[in-house]
């Protein structure tokens, strides 16, 4: 065993035992344990970890823990903070929301962010898809986020969908990348502009009289138009962001 001293950023406290929050404490790590092994054994998923200092020097999660190490673990920075520190920004994020975050997934699709969600997703499927497609996994299952196949993920702290959207939007700077109402809310495919004449027979009479602009989803055959519900959703999203 190698005994090291750990201190975690306050933002990571919810993952730790109460007696270790805000404190520097000793922990015995298994022989040849990496920082990833040690941090996750203490309850913190690697996806929530930002910069790590070992004995005052930057280290990666792959570093082996050695006897007497002093390890300081910071929380993952929000995208705006990463930009301010000069870190390279990623491309437009794509997400995978687990079974318990269906309304969050719908909100993200409203904003135009590719978000996979199915109630039937198993943990194995989530791990496989996340690794193959480079998706950010959104979940309240901290054990899932410890899986090595998941390189990017977010433990969603909030319980209400509106608060969850604020949390994810802030962490990944979504407001400046949003393209509202460009994806189907049901099947996540891109919407296409469609002529009124092509869908007129499917529209309620009041919609035919009042609307001129329509979008169509090839995946589920739904037609969308900017009616009163659309305006209410735009207002709600603007307030949430």
233 within a domain of the structure (yes/no): no
Residues 105 and 155 in one domain: yes
Helices (H), the chain: 35-41, 79-84, 102-110, 123-133, 161-171, 196-199, 205-210, 228-240
Residues 105 and 44 in one domain: no
22 within a domain of the structure (yes/no): yes
Could you identify the residue written with the tokens 């969050």?
104
The pLDDT tens digits of the residues spanning 166-217 come to: 999 999 999 889 998 999 999 999 999 999 999 999 999 999 998 999 999 9
Instruction: Output the pLDDT for position 85.
Output: 42
65 within a domain of the structure (yes/no): yes
Residues 54 and 15 in one domain: yes
The total of structural domains in the chain comes to: 3
Residues 109 and 54 in one domain: no
The answer to whether residues 2 and 31 touch, using CB atoms and an 8 Å cutoff, is yes
Nearest to 176 by CA among 96, 109, 102, 113: 113
185 within a domain of the structure (yes/no): no
Instruction: Output the pLDDT for position 23.
Output: 96
The pLDDT tens digits of the residues spanning 18-40 come to: 999 999 999 999 989 999 999 99
Per the structure, the complete domain to which residue 62 belongs is given by 2-76
30 within a domain of the structure (yes/no): yes
Report strand pairing: 192-194 vs 153-155: unpaired
51 within a domain of the structure (yes/no): yes
238 within a domain of the structure (yes/no): no
Q: Is the pLDDT of residue 83 over 60?
A: no
Residues 120 and 71 in one domain: no
């Amino acid at each position: 065993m190698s005994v090291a001293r750990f201190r975690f950023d306050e933002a990571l406290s919810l993952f730790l035992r109460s007696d270790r929050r805000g404190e520097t404490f000793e922990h015995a790590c298994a022989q040849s344990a990496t920082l990833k092994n040690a941090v996750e054994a203490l309850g913190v998923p690697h996806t929530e970890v930002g910069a790590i200092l070992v004995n005052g020097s930057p280290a990666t999660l792959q570093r082996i823990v050695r006897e007497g190490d002093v390890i300081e673990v910071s929380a993952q920075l929000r995208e705006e903070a990463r930009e301010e520190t000069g870190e390279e920004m990623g491309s437009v994020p794509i997400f995978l929301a687990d079974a318990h975050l269906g309304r969050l997934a719908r909100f993200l699709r409203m904003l135009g962010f590719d978000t996979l969600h199915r109630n039937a997703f198993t943990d194995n499927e989530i791990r496989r898809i996340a690794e193959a497609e480079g998706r950010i996994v959104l979940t309240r299952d901290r054990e899932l986020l410890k899986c090595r196949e998941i390189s990017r993920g977010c433990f969603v702290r909030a319980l209400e969908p509106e608060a969850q959207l604020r949390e994810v939007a802030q962490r990944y700077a979504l407001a400046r990348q949003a393209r509202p109402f460009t994806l189907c809310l049901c099947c996540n495919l891109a919407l296409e502009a469609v002529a009124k004449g092509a869908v007129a027979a499917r529209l309620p009479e009041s919609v035919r009289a009042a609307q001129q602009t329509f979008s169509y989803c090839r995946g589920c055959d739904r037609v969308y138009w900017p009616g009163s519900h659309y305006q209410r959703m735009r207002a709600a999203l603007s307030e949430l962001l």
